[in-house]
């Protein structure tokens, strides 16, 4: 079998920085496993109209478990802690791993044939059949040896960690070329988050800082019929990022090539068409977004065969954001995504 191409075998010769601004078109649900306490007089007034809903984040467990309490639990949105001087701040956030996972899964669905999607799934721990393990390793290597295969495109970008036999001299393990960060607009993390329930403001004085949220509710569903369960508890409730909120997505792509730009094009189109959603409860329409703004900055080695072509399409040359590469790389901001598509980046990565 011919050698398997690994993304960094010729070092790092280029970097593409991508900034996207995304608008939430359908509420976004990303849970972190923690619970908050929620109370409304909905038993007295239909759907909470006329009631005073309340939410408490601190001491939520004791409020929920109290024998005389009318608080119930609500699944909290993802949050993180940040140190600012001598203060420890708590802020709602969108985990980069959630967005990255959705993009990776969509890349697999669009590029890997259905019958080959299990090639890189690990066997059961109890399975010690050496012949089967060897067959799976060979199948995985065959996929990666073909640079045109769907798995090769996906794992070249996202990285691979597939090793069934520790004695292998050439393990199928390497770092991905794509790193990703998310952030909320600064004005949305400088105050307590605003929460609403059926159009009413929720009294939530101790929530983490963040943007606007809704309280979502539904009955638990039967996994077979997808209809409401007749037993097993009442309504499920959760916090969801409200429609109209925005978040920023920064991607850094090392050694970009044409197939990476094709994946970017696919993600752009499928985000705006609603086929690529984020977070949980996507089956009931949650997590749709739209692309509101985008910038692309490409820097390549001065010896790159694409260098002259790049200088023709950028509006003005800029130094790399990383001072380590100033004077070694050239590039700048591209005027549009179409300008990025016009470059033949495969000339940079030919081996």
**Residue 55 lies inside a defined structural domain of this protein:** yes
Q: Are residues 64 and 103 in the same domain?
A: no
Considering 121, 150, 176, which residue would you say is the last residue of a domain? 176
**Average pLDDT for residues 34-56, to the nearest whole number?**
69
**Residue 4 lies inside a defined structural domain of this protein:** no
Q: What is the band of 22 on the pLDDT scale with cuts at 50, 70, 90?
A: very high
**Residue 260 lies inside a defined structural domain of this protein:** yes
**Residue 334 lies inside a defined structural domain of this protein:** yes
Q: Which long-range contacts (CB under 8 A, 24 or more apart) does 49-55 make?
A: 49/198, 49/200, 51/200, 52/203, 53/197, 53/200, 53/202, 53/203, 53/215, 54/202, 54/203, 54/204, 55/195, 55/202, 55/203, 55/204, 55/207, 55/215
DSSP letter assigned to residue 101: H
Ranges 40-54, 93-107, 249-263, 292-306: which has the least confidence: 40-54
Q: What was the pLDDT predicted at 334?
A: 94
Q: What was the pLDDT predicted at 45?
A: 45
**Average pLDDT for residues 137-166, to the nearest whole number?**
78
Q: Mean pLDDT over all residues of the chain?
A: 82
| Total domains present in the chain | 3
Q: What is the dihedral of CA 267, 270, 271, 277, to 10 degrees?
A: -100
Q: Are residues 233 and 251 in the same domain?
A: no
Q: Which residue has the higher pLDDT, 168 or 117?
A: 117
**Residue 215 lies inside a defined structural domain of this protein:** yes
Q: Are residues 231 and 255 in the same domain?
A: no
Considering 221, 241, 261, which residue would you say is the last residue of a domain? 241
**Average pLDDT for residues 163-171, to the nearest whole number?**
58
Q: Which of 86-90, 136-140, 194-198, 267-271 has the highest mean pLDDT?
A: 267-271
Q: Are residues 342 and 270 in the same domain?
A: yes
Q: Are residues 226 and 105 in the same domain?
A: no
In angstroms, the first-to-last Cα distance of the chain is: 17
Q: Are residues 104 and 134 in the same domain?
A: yes
For 103-126, the pLDDT digits (tens) are 999 999 999 989 888 877 766 656
Q: Are residues 309 and 166 in the same domain?
A: no
Task: Give the pair of three-digit tokens for residue 19.
Answer: 């900034």
Q: What was the pLDDT predicted at 189?
A: 67
Residue 48 has pLDDT above 50, yes or no: no
**Residue 124 lies inside a defined structural domain of this protein:** yes
**Residue 183 lies inside a defined structural domain of this protein:** no
Q: Are residues 213 and 278 in the same domain?
A: no
Q: What was the pLDDT predicted at 13?
A: 87
Q: Are residues 208 and 69 in the same domain?
A: yes
**Residue 5 lies inside a defined structural domain of this protein:** no
Q: Give the structural domain span for 301.
A: 14-26+246-349
Q: Are residues 113 and 195 in the same domain?
A: no
Distance set, CA 199 to CA 27, 50, 51, 55 (Å) = 14, 11, 12, 15
Q: What was the pLDDT predicted at 89?
A: 84
Q: Are residues 268 and 292 in the same domain?
A: yes
| Alpha-carbon gap, residue 75 to 54, rounded angstroms | 14
Nearest to 259 by CA among 251, 267, 250: 267
The strand pairing partners of 339, in sequence order, are none
Q: What is the band of 5 on the pLDDT scale with cuts at 50, 70, 90?
A: low
Q: Which residue has the higher pLDDT, 8 or 330?
A: 330
Q: Are residues 22 and 56 in the same domain?
A: no
């Amino acid at each position: 079998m011919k050698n398997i191409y690994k993304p960094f075998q010729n070092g790092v010769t280029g970097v593409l920085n991508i900034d996207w601004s995304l608008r939430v078109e359908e509420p976004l649900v990303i849970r972190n496993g923690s619970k908050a306490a929620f109370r409304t007089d909905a038993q007295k007034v239909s759907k909470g109209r006329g009631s005073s809903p309340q939410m408490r984040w601190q001491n939520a467990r004791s409020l929920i478990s109290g024998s005389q309490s009318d608080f119930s639990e609500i699944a909290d949105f993802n949050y993180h802690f940040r140190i600012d001087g001598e203060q420890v701040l708590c802020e709602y956030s969108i985990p980069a791993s959630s967005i990255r996972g959705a993009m990776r899964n969509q890349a697999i669905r669009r590029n890997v044939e259905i019958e080959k999607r299990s090639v890189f799934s690990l066997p059961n721990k109890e399975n010690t059949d050496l012949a089967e393990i060897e067959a799976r390793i060979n199948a995985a290597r065959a996929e990666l040896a073909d640079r045109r295969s769907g798995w090769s495109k996906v794992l070249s970008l996202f990285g691979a960690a597939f090793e069934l036999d520790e004695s292998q001299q050439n393990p199928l393990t390497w770092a991905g070329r794509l790193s990703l960060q998310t952030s909320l607009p600064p004005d949305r993390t400088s105050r307590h988050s605003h929460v609403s329930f059926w159009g009413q403001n929720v009294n939530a004085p101790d929530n983490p800082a963040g943007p606007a949220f809704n309280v979502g509710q539904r009955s638990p569903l039967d996994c077979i019929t997808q209809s409401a369960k007749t037993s097993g508890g009442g309504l499920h409730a959760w916090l969801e990022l409200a429609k109209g909120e925005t978040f920023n997505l920064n991607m850094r792509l090392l050694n970009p090539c044409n197939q990476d730009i094709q994946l970017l094009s696919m993600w752009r189109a499928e985000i705006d068409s609603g086929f690529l959603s984020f977070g949980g409860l996507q089956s009931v329409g949650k997590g749709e977004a739209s692309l509101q703004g985008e910038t692309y900055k490409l820097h390549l080695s001065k010896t790159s065969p694409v260098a002259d072509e790049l200088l023709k399409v950028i509006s003005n040359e800029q130094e790399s954001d990383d001072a380590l590469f100033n004077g070694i790389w050239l590039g700048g901001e591209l005027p549009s995504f179409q300008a990025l598509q016009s470059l033949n980046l495969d000339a940079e990565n030919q081996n």
